[in-house]
A and B are shown apart, each in its own frame.
Chain A
Amino acid sequence: MEIAVISGKGGTGKSSISAALATIAAPVVLADCDVDAANLFILFEPTHEEEIVYVGAQNAVINYDLCLNCGTCADYCRFDAISFVEGRITIQEINCDGCKLCSRICPAKAITMVDSDKSRIYSGTFRNGKMVYGRLAPGEENSGKMVNIIRNKAKEIAKKNSFETIILDGAPGIGCPVISTIAGVDKVVIVTEPTMSGLSDIERTIKTVSKFNVKAYVLINKYDLNEEMTDKIIDFCADSEITVLGKLPFDKIVVDALSVRKSVIENAPGSELSLEIKKIHKKLIPN
């Protein structure tokens, strides 16, 4: 079973909850799909058994020995990436979308496409099973494609080791890395918090998830920061026919566990919070 843990809003506690679930559900494959801010490897310090070079987008590069400075490429580029700078045709790498049209239409064949190959995907063993995670090179694009490769790797490892559960820790937001994380999974857990922002974000997240045929659950973290807002979120979920898995109080023990590189279940197994998470796990994965 593939379970994705996501949250529209960042910082609601996705990764801490993924880590806790991965501890309870062990042995698991834990896949960190938050590729531009991967964190779970810090907590679980997996071994490096395999490294995959990930080629993301391409960038257009001009060979000035051949360039006629005619400006045809600038006319065709729809991403405002090519313009004359001090009289010379110039590509702004940041705006280049990698569509390759400039390279195809250049009359002097002066533009080539260069792969960005600095991103990596790693897999290895950690104390609760196997782990797959990506490290997108700073500034790299196309994180959705990387998430797809991570998920395929996770499935392959799960099959090989006969692990039943794959937990995907997703990115914040609702764009391409998140869509790639939830497409085709069995269950999605949306972790939220009782703030106006949390409520606004969960509305957008639920709408995004509803475009896919997956069972969605909501978990309200730090519920005691604003109980009135917690009730509003519960009402909203009832209206949207989404099951609320449970609510967790704000507790410093989550950060304390993180500081000693442990999940909250590992560091404080008998705590009220841990017991609550175990109940949530049971609801999510009934035996």
Chain B
Amino acid sequence: MKQSDKIKIAIASGKGGTGKTFVATNLFYSLKKRDYDVDMVDCDAEEPNCTIFISGDLVGSTDITHKVPVIDEIACAYCDKCRQYCNYKAIFLLPEAKIIKVIEELCHGCGACSVACEYGAIREKDVVQGEVNRYRLDNGCYLTEARMKIGVMSPVPVIKAAINKAGENNIKIMDSPPGTSCPFIHTVARADYVVLVTEPTPFGLSDLRQSIKTLDGMDKRYGVIINRAGLGDTKTYDYLKTNNIPLLMEISFDRKIACHYSKGELIAKEDIQWREKFIDLFNNILKHYGDSGN
């Protein structure tokens, strides 16, 4: 196996459907084929799709839980302190009618209510938020998948757990959730370098700016891939040039790529030239990461 420096690369985008998973899975596959020591983490816990493109043997599945209060209504004095302590409005209380309820969907599992209770009326139970699945692939590589349970509000606990359980290899490719709010933040926070995938349309550019503002605020290094080049306009290119942001790769709009993707196939597997392009992308990332003085 090829030894390399440790680097965690997150593949992200503000706008959904710009080709994050396409880039992440093909980059991972190309590196694996070239014998790099690489692991992959699917952090898009709401809609995890990497296993469609990368298959392996499931070697472990862990439920990710958090603690939710259970109130003993006999011991409860209906004093209201737990409700006041809860910063998520997850406790519903009518003291006169002696009604107290936990709204589990709103509970973040912080434990404040247990601390508040002076009557020993609150114990906690584990509630499943999702699961982390680990797949072993050939060449000693692993794919770790975060999969949020349907109906759960936040994918963040599952994302954090998946990143913690990722393989031991030096290179990690993380497929990020879309957007710029908590699921994205918790993914890129753990990355050394962020690749933003965009498309050259007004929507794509607006979301790219928002992502960049967020990453600047976090002091992260990043570069951009323009996918579906040829559609839309040139404003994204102007923006990158003006702001001195590296353009790491361009992927032309091509029905053939879209068709391979739709069937769950990897273009880097079908076409060796594409494998080279993704290796070039990796080298480009290393170059910019090195240049940025980290």
Taken together as a complex, chains A and B put the C-alpha atoms of A252 and B200 apart, in Å, by 13
CB distance from B229 to the nearest CB of A (A): 12
The reply to whether A176 and B179 contact each other, CB–CB distance below 8 Å, is no
In chain A, what residue has the closest Cβ to B181? A36
CB distance from B120 to the nearest CB of A (A): 18
Is A112 interfacial (CB-CB < 8 Å)? no
CB distance from B90 to the nearest CB of A (A): 11
How big is chain B's contact interface, by range? 35 or more
In chain A, what residue has the closest Cβ to B265? A196
- What are the residues of chain A within 8 A of B47 when measuring CB–CB? 8-9, 172-174, 197, 200-201, 204
The reply to whether B85 and A104 contact each other, CB–CB distance below 8 Å, is yes
Known: A139-B180, A175-B183. Is A37-B110 also a contact (CB below 8 A)? Answer: no
The reply to whether B210 and A255 contact each other, CB–CB distance below 8 Å, is no
Number of A-B contacts (CB under 8 A): 185
Taken together as a complex, chains A and B put the C-alpha atoms of A174 and B181 apart, in Å, by 14
The reply to whether B201 and A99 contact each other, CB–CB distance below 8 Å, is no
B104-155, CB < 8 A from A: 108-112, 115-116, 148, 150-155
Taken together as a complex, chains A and B put the C-alpha atoms of A183 and B182 apart, in Å, by 21
The reply to whether A226 and B259 contact each other, CB–CB distance below 8 Å, is yes
Is B87 interfacial (CB-CB < 8 Å)? yes
In chain A, what residue has the closest Cβ to B207? A37
Is A108 interfacial (CB-CB < 8 Å)? no
Taken together as a complex, chains A and B put the C-alpha atoms of A226 and B231 apart, in Å, by 20
Known: A42-B203, A101-B85, A207-B150. Is A11-B18 also a contact (CB below 8 A)? Answer: yes
Q: From A15, A43, A171, A196, give the contact of B263 (CB < 8 A).
A: A196
Is A194 interfacial (CB-CB < 8 Å)? yes
Known: A172-B17, A208-B150. Is A143-B109 also a contact (CB below 8 A)? Answer: no
Known: A94-B189, A204-B47, A226-B262. Is A141-B179 also a contact (CB below 8 A)? Answer: no
- What are the residues of chain B within 8 A of A229 when measuring CB–CB? 262-263
A78-117, CB < 8 A from B: 78-80, 94, 97-101, 104-105
Taken together as a complex, chains A and B put the C-alpha atoms of A99 and B115 apart, in Å, by 12
Q: From B52, B214, B232, give the contact of A200 (CB < 8 A).
A: B52
Known: A78-B110, A99-B88, A225-B259. Is A200-B115 also a contact (CB below 8 A)? Answer: no
Q: From B18, B112, B116, B154, give the contact of A176 (CB < 8 A).
A: B154
- What are the residues of chain A within 8 A of B49 when measuring CB–CB? 9, 196-197, 200-201
CB distance from A80 to the nearest CB of B (A): 8
- What are the residues of chain A within 8 A of B46 when measuring CB–CB? 8, 172-175, 204
Name which of A15, A36, A76, A196 has the most chain B CB atoms within 10 A of its CB: A36
The reply to whether B231 and A175 contact each other, CB–CB distance below 8 Å, is no
The reply to whether B111 and A258 contact each other, CB–CB distance below 8 Å, is no
Is A179 interfacial (CB-CB < 8 Å)? yes
Is B14 interfacial (CB-CB < 8 Å)? yes
Is A160 interfacial (CB-CB < 8 Å)? no
The reply to whether B112 and A36 contact each other, CB–CB distance below 8 Å, is no
A237-284, CB < 8 A from B: 252, 255, 258-259, 261
The interface bits of chain A over 190-211 (1 if a CB of B lies within 8 angstroms of the residue's CB, else 0) are 0001111110110010011001
B242-294, CB < 8 A from A: 255, 258-259, 261-264
B209-223, CB < 8 A from A: 210, 213-214, 217-218
Is B206 interfacial (CB-CB < 8 Å)? yes
The reply to whether A211 and B151 contact each other, CB–CB distance below 8 Å, is yes
The reply to whether B180 and A138 contact each other, CB–CB distance below 8 Å, is yes
The reply to whether A37 and B14 contact each other, CB–CB distance below 8 Å, is yes
Is B191 interfacial (CB-CB < 8 Å)? no
Taken together as a complex, chains A and B put the C-alpha atoms of A197 and B87 apart, in Å, by 37
CB distance from A38 to the nearest CB of B (A): 8
Is B8 interfacial (CB-CB < 8 Å)? no
In chain B, what residue has the closest Cβ to A8? B47
Taken together as a complex, chains A and B put the C-alpha atoms of A50 and B94 apart, in Å, by 36
- What are the residues of chain B within 8 A of A194 when measuring CB–CB? 262
In chain B, what residue has the closest Cβ to A38? B206
Is B21 interfacial (CB-CB < 8 Å)? yes
Is B56 interfacial (CB-CB < 8 Å)? no
The reply to whether B150 and A101 contact each other, CB–CB distance below 8 Å, is no
Known: A105-B115, A225-B258. 6 other contacts (CB 8 A): A7-B16, A35-B181, A37-B180, A141-B185, A172-B47, A195-B263
29 CB contacts below 8 A, A to B, read A9-B16, A37-B16, A37-B178, A42-B206, A78-B67, A78-B110, A100-B112, A101-B111, A104-B116, A172-B47, A173-B16, A173-B44, A175-B46, A175-B148, A175-B153, A176-B153, A195-B262, A195-B263, A197-B52, A197-B261, A197-B264, A200-B52, A208-B151, A226-B262, A226-B263, A252-B231, A255-B201, A255-B232, A258-B203
Chain B residues with a Cβ under 8 A of chain A:
14-18, 21, 44, 46-47, 49, 52, 66-67, 85, 87-88, 108-112, 115-116, 148, 150-155, 160, 177-186, 189, 201-203, 206-207, 210, 213-214, 217-218, 231-233, 255, 258-259, 261-264
Closest 8 CB pairs of A and B: A10-B16, A11-B17, A99-B110, A138-B214, A196-B264, A172-B16, A173-B46, A226-B262
Chain A residues with a Cβ under 8 A of chain B:
7-12, 15, 35-37, 39, 42-43, 58, 76, 78-80, 94, 97-101, 104-105, 136, 138-141, 143-144, 171-177, 179, 193-198, 200-201, 204, 207-208, 211, 225-226, 229, 252, 255, 258-259, 261
